[in-house]
Amino acid sequence: MFLAGGLSACRARTGNRPDHQSDQTRSRPTLQNCRTFFFFPSPEARETNTRPKCLSKDWHCPDHVSFANIHPGHKPFDVITLTYNSKNELCKTDESGTCPDAVDCRAELAWNETRQLQQTLWPAHCIINDPESELDDSLLTKEDDHFVLKGSRCSVDSYSAFFDNARFESTGLHDHLRGRGITRVFVAGLALDYCVKYTALDAKSLGYDVYVVVDATRGTSPSSAERAIEELKNSGVRLINSSEIEKCFKKKKNGSVVAVTLLLVAAALLVRRAKKRTQ
Ligand SMILES: [Zn+2]
């Protein structure tokens, strides 16, 4: 299984942002190589390629709660606290910004029947039906790829390709993989310390044999990437480079189906730009 996705590779942004382009240039060939290996292992197999592959990408409303520009007084990378009521609705608070889905929760707040979630704020990205939210044309995709659109609910973010950050809803990816007998998942793409990490951890918690292809990922910063790698290691996720994929593939158990997850997340690229602007 090959699963790609996230906020990355926003087509329209590639050409005119040199730093964005260089990041994509660095990670894309490795991603393409992984995909080519998994899906087209031999010329003969190209005709009968049945290995499943998935791509996930963010799909946000224009006023998504994760966007810094809907939170007056805040900037990208600030961390805020969001409050949700017992119906999983976002409560109107000082931190809910102008998110259109926020509701009045005064009664529940008074009874302490709410739960809170930390949210990092990002530059606006991957807005529904915006041409810039499309995957870059140069990424190899096929008509039968399974696409996961995540973060489409305005009031809650979704780093993982399996669940939103509050675990209110699943994306259906687990059912999709399970229905195809997938037992092993390879995760790659952007960003290592957010979408790749949370997808890999969720896959592990759901019982998959999980590999992260480290050289086909990038973190939002070296220190954050290092922390993510430690966390993944400690959670039993296997870390490999793309040159080791073939070896892992050969080791598969009889009858098991290999799933490759490739996450391409543009947020990391946009984040770097925003950081530069604020320096
Ligand atoms: Zn997002």
70 occurs within a structural domain: no
Contact status, residue 269 vs residue 190, Cβ threshold 8 Å: yes
Half-sphere exposure of 93 (CA within 13 A, CB side): 21
Residue 61 has pLDDT above 90, yes or no: yes
Residue 50 shares a structural domain with residue 148: yes
- Measure the CA–CA gap between 128 and 235, rounded to whole angstroms: 33
Domain with 103 in it: 79-120
Residue 7 shares a structural domain with residue 145: yes
Q: For residue 65, which of 106, 131, 122 has the smallest C-alpha distance?
A: 122
Q: What is the CATH number of the domain that holds 133?
A: 3.40.50.850
Note the pLDDT of residue 147: 85
- 3-class secondary-structure state, position 61: coil
Residue 51 shares a structural domain with residue 21: yes
Output the CA 96–ligand 1 centroid distance in Å: 16
Residue 217 shares a structural domain with residue 92: no
Output the CA 123–ligand 1 centroid distance in Å: 9
Contact status, residue 228 vs residue 197, Cβ threshold 8 Å: yes
Residue 128 shares a structural domain with residue 110: no
Output the CA 53–ligand 1 centroid distance in Å: 21
Residue 274 has pLDDT above 90, yes or no: no
List, for residues 187-229, the tens digit of each pLDDT value.
888 889 999 999 999 999 999 989 998 888 888 899 999 999 9
Residue 39 has pLDDT above 80, yes or no: no
- Measure the CA–CA gap between 5 and 152, rounded to whole angstroms: 14
Output the CA 189–ligand 1 centroid distance in Å: 14
Residue 247 shares a structural domain with residue 151: yes
Note the pLDDT of residue 242: 79
Q: State phi, psi for 239 to the nearest 5 degrees.
A: -105, 125
Output the CA 139–ligand 1 centroid distance in Å: 20
Tokens, residue 169? 């809803």
- Chain position carrying tokens 């993944």: 232
Residue 129 has pLDDT above 60, yes or no: yes
- Chain position carrying tokens 């973060």: 151
Residue 103 shares a structural domain with residue 186: no
Output the CA 115–ligand 1 centroid distance in Å: 21
Output the CA 114–ligand 1 centroid distance in Å: 24
74 occurs within a structural domain: no
93 occurs within a structural domain: yes
Output the CA 43–ligand 1 centroid distance in Å: 37
Output the CA 119–ligand 1 centroid distance in Å: 11
Output the CA 17–ligand 1 centroid distance in Å: 20
Whole-prediction pTM? 0.78
Residue 31 shares a structural domain with residue 130: yes
Strand partners for 146: 54
Output the CA 126–ligand 1 centroid distance in Å: 7
Residue 17 shares a structural domain with residue 113: no
- Collect residues with CB below 5 Å from ion ligand 1: 58, 151
Residue 47 shares a structural domain with residue 92: no
Provide the number of structural domains found in the chain: 2
Output the CA 152–ligand 1 centroid distance in Å: 9
- Chain position carrying tokens 């990002």: 122
Least confident of 128-137, 154-163, 233-242: 128-137
Query: Could you tell me whether strands 182-190 and 209-218 are parallel, antiparallel, or unpaired per DSSP bridges?
Result: parallel
Residue 21 shares a structural domain with residue 89: no
Note the pLDDT of residue 34: 56
Note the pLDDT of residue 35: 56
Note the pLDDT of residue 113: 80
Where would I find the H helices in the chain?
Answer: 11-14, 18-39, 106-110, 173-179, 197-205, 222-234, 245-250, 267-278
- Measure the CA–CA gap between 74 and 65, rounded to whole angstroms: 12
